[in-house]
Structure 1
């Protein structure tokens, strides 16, 4: 009888993308599938943000269960990720005007997850938990390509100087400019981790200056 396939854990199997280093580095991020949902407003004050986080996790665990039953593959649910933008980059790097933030929250999926498995998982999530923002959750591909990233240690509210260093120091020194959206990967569970020990990957897609 063949042995069961090993459990897939994106933080271990794609360590170079989901671990990062304290020094800013360049990476090439392939296309991957994600559960995702959009919204806007402060992650600290917005009920929508909380509802979307809940809906994504409830769906992610339901999809994992369905995949185990239907294709016999196991995986660890990936970390929460967020794409962030606003009309003014200073809302992140200087003023930290959270009410001006727009976001897409995401959870990466292994490559055997299909639209059909997602739909079955979403239906199960709604039937069992009925999360308030379930209607916002979708499944689809996301491809970033060339990026710079760095591991930030500490509170989310102290990310500004690190983001500014990426944009104002590292990119000009390497003839790069930003494209796409600011990306954060939350490696720590903020409910169980002291703010000073939070680990967050900060990532920014880039393109050569002049392109």
Structure 2
């Protein structure tokens, strides 16, 4: 029997919500991140994702071969890709209700287990750099993010239909006497759009509330 840590089984409250709004408190978590701007259809967006996953798998696989394992080490399933989304300041100043994809601002990320600290991250980053000439690795950051009090919901279907889910989440927030902090939101991608039909995509949507 495998003793691998499976986030899908161990952290359902954070990653496997129901397709109805729910309130939760998200703790401080560590991520490797890349920030960018523009349409997710741009080639650089795909390169960002590839860079994050290549580093995430270096962090997963290399410690297995180390004679002295990192303190607190355990085998684990790589966490899913996540993104925090906003629009640029110019778009906000002239916002008329419709978002142009070229105005998007995003921070893509993959969560890291608790045993990954700054020292181990730097070691794995340098290892990844030595194996592959990828200038985007220079832009990756290791950071702690605290979402805090949030409302989340599983969105089923195309990304273009997310507004319907957000409306349901905002109505739930209002009923709870809560206010959405901003239009900034987090998406957690449980499906690979390259392999799954748009109508079957599963995406966790989450925004902060006060």
TM class by smaller structure:
0.7 to 0.9
Partner Cα distance (1:198, 1:101) in 2: 21
Deviation at 1:89, TM superposition (A): 11
How many residues are matched?
201
| Correspondence for 1:158 | 161
Q: What are the ranges of 5 or more consecutive residues in structure 2 without an aligned counterpart?
A: none
Normalising by structure 2, report the TM-score. Answer: 0.88
| Correspondence for 1:80 | 81
Partner Cα distance (1:126, 1:27) in 2: 38
Q: 2:10 aligns with which of 4, 9, 13?
A: 13
Partner Cα distance (1:154, 1:184) in 2: 13
Q: 1:173 aligns with which of 158, 172, 175?
A: 175
Partner Cα distance (2:39, 2:14) in 1: 26
> Aligned with 2:209: secondary structure?
strand
Deviation at 1:94, TM superposition (A): 5.0
Partner Cα distance (1:94, 1:139) in 2: 34
Q: What are the ranges of 5 or more consecutive residues in structure 1 without an aligned counterpart?
A: none
Q: Does 1:63 align with 2:59?
A: yes
Q: What per-residue deviation string (whole Å, max 9, x for no partner) do you get for residues 126-183 of structure 1?
A: 222333411111111111111000000111111122123323x222222111226300
- What is the CA RMSD across the aligned residues, in angstroms? 2.2
Partner Cα distance (2:94, 2:19) in 1: 23
| Correspondence for 1:22 | 19
- What does 1:119-130 correspond to in 2, within 5 Å? 119-130=122-133
| Correspondence for 2:102 | 99
Q: 2:208 aligns with which of 205, 208, 211?
A: 205
| Correspondence for 1:38 | 35
> Aligned with 1:53: secondary structure?
helix
Q: Is the 8 A contact 1:52 1:136 kept in 2?
A: no
Q: What per-residue deviation string (whole Å, max 9, x for no partner) do you get for residues 167-203 of structure 1?
A: 3x22222211122630000001111111111100000
Normalising by structure 1, report the TM-score. Answer: 0.87
Q: Which moved more, 1:115-124 or 1:63-72?
A: 63-72
Deviation at 1:5, TM superposition (A): 8.7
Change in 2 beyond 3 A, CA 1:163/1:114? same
Change in 2 beyond 3 A, CA 1:56/1:89? farther
